[in-house]
Amino acid sequence: MRLRHIKGCEDFITDAKECIREDKAIALKGNIQDIFEEKRPLQIEIGMGKGQFIRNMAMRYQNINFIGIEKYESVLMKAIQRKRNLETEKSIDNLRFLCADAKKLSEIFEVGEVDKIFLNFSDPWPKDRHANRRLTSPDFLNIYDIILKKDGVIEFKTDNVGLFEYSLEVVKDSKWKLDFCSFDFHSEKESEENIMTEYEEKFSGQGNKICKMIISR
């Protein structure tokens, strides 16, 4: 689906105090937490969309810093606006945004700087020739291996069974190990504390089963 461009989104993102662009983030490598008021454990969501998941995570876990990563400026603009709408009563000071391509993450984050990575309803890139663009491809797992702490984990959710099965095969053939796996996550007891994304609410409301895996090294 083609994303609708919002006029002025580029300037909005550049001026947003809650957001940092890729070039400035690269220049901050090793000190990325300077964008927060306080240094805390760091968790990131790659391809956060409009930010419902990471926004609610930040409000629930105020002892953790969260960075929502999104390369599409029009989508990122909406995420920032929604955060601001919620801050009329209380600031969400442990949430920041990064406008960047996931391919650049090892240039932005220091080795072992990230405690946890969330991949939620990533683009499935269904054509075989685009497999290396999938956020669970071997190339991306290699990037995560660099920036994730040795005891860190990756949590991946999707409603796309084909993408999930592909991801399981990638994990099986890698140094990563499967800590949790379900083709019907919402039926599991582990889902009791689950925070849903916009897509998760939509797809599960349509009767689609949600798949989830957690991997570590």
Task: Extract the annotated binding site for substrate.
Answer: 127, 159, 197-200
The count of residues in the chain is 217
Catalytic residue flag (residue 128) = no
CB proximity list for 210: less than 8 A, separation 6 or greater: 157, 158, 159, 184, 185, 186, 200, 203, 204
Residue stretches of the annotated binding site: 45, 70, 101, 123, 127, 159, 197-200
Q: Which of 34, 123, 139, 179 is catalytic?
A: 123
Q: Are 124 and 160 in contact (CB under 8 A)?
A: yes
Exposure string for 76-87, b = 16+ CB within 10 A, e = fewer: bbbbbeebeeee
DSSP 40-100: --EEEEES-TT-HHHHHHHHH-TTSEEEEE-S-HHHHHHHHHHHHHHTTTS--TTEEEEE-
Identity of the residue numbered 141: L
Residue stretches of the annotated binding site for S-adenosyl-L-methionine: 45, 70, 101, 123
Exposure string for 180-213, b = 16+ CB within 10 A, e = fewer: ebbeebeeeeeeeeebbbebbeebeeeebebbbb
Q: Are 55 and 92 in contact (CB under 8 A)?
A: yes
Q: Which residues are catalytic?
A: 123
